[in-house]
Structure 1
Amino acid sequence: MRFLLPTLLLACANPTAATTESHEAQARSRFTRGMEALQEGRVDVARRAFAKAAELAPEWGLAYLEWGLIEKSIDPHTAVARDCLEKAAKLSPDNARARYQLGLLYQQLARHNDAINELTAALALRPQMLDAQFRLATAHQDAGHLEAAIEGFREVLGDQRHHSGALAALAALFEKSGDLSEAERALVALAQKQPHLAYNHYRLAQFYERVGETKKARRAYSRANSLDPRPQRRMRELR
């Protein structure tokens, strides 16, 4: 009883502060329970725990972030997913992960400019986030910002020379812009990076066929067919 006396006196002197401390302790407990449930694959339990943690500590951005990530994984188009992640980013503007995840959500919702803003903020906080670099370039591509997209994908390749997604995206962008030599360079690099993946050779063959390089198309189709002889990838009769 002697040890409880200071706490009791504090509670009597400032009941609001004591209640706040109690709610914060409960929120931490619920949050911990949610993380444990998530690791065990009990998503519904984790979802309820994070929601309760956010209710008990409405200024705690991390609780909203974890809750929002679950909601986004279930259905990114719900208001609760958007509200949670927006609140997480607002409460924790210096949290690169919160800004990044909100950027990804905006991408899924086709809110390209909002995605660009959030992903740019995430990269400013944590420049080494390679996937944020890639997603930012993709957001520029989706928004029709051709030059920014090309520059972004090149930056990704500067950090990871054989990034498959960046190579494929650059090939498409260069072909669209009429720079066929750069498009070919990207597709060849992709095929060389994954020489045993038939699809890369098939995609290269299709490119050669589109630009009228029949001999190169035959070789690429032949390579693709040797790796994966499924009917839809058999070499067509080229003239």
Structure 2
Amino acid sequence: MKKNPKFIKEKNAILLMEIHERANRLRYLRKLSHLSMKEFARHCNLGLTTINYWEQGYSSVTERGAQKVCKAMREEGIECTVIWLMTGYGEPPKVTDSSKLSKLNYKNLESLSRISINEKKSDYPMENSEINAELALFKKNYPEHLIYLIDNESMKPLFAPGDLVAGKKLTDKNMELANGADCIVELEGKELLIRRVKIAHAVNSYDLYVINSDASLEFPPLRNIKLLSLAPIIRVWKPVKF
């Protein structure tokens, strides 16, 4: 039985999308550590060519490689999970001990507010036509979805104004699977927000947080919030002009 060429093409497009998203997360993690690519490869006990290929999206980060990376980052004072690096789900990486960072000028971390987890080379800007094509493919593969255009800095450095984010919609008890993840959340009034989600003490409720500490006064935590649905962010397009 011959496979449908269109199906094969779409499947390959999804795989390519996953490879590039892993590459973006790996590059973000390395920049968080302030290590050069050569230093990063040495710390992770991986080849320089391997790291280069992974960051460029020429090949995919492997689970074994992700384990090595996460172990090395813990030794550098950065907490990161294999699940996040491979899928984007769960808690994003964070500095837990700045004294362990190889480059001790902790002020350099401020530059991360200008680093995107899904940054693209300026040589290869994504045109709106490309975004529309990828968006159509995403909607086809995830009929139940949420899409959100970010218009403030509350979720920096991971997401910035102009980013278009999307995720597979979860409802009811399935929403608990997104505990600790950055999500598009649908409030009872149908309003959409992007927040980090934690299961609240109240039954069937969630606490919602921004991750940009500088914006925490403007966007304080929302506690014991009931949601219609949520979608862990699994796809980001940038930049989008609005």
TM-score (norm. length: structure 1) = 0.27
TM-score (norm. length: structure 2) = 0.27
Task: Point out the structure with max Rg over C-alpha.
Answer: 1
Where is the strand percentage greater, Structure 1 or Structure 2?
2
Where is the helix percentage greater, Structure 1 or Structure 2?
1
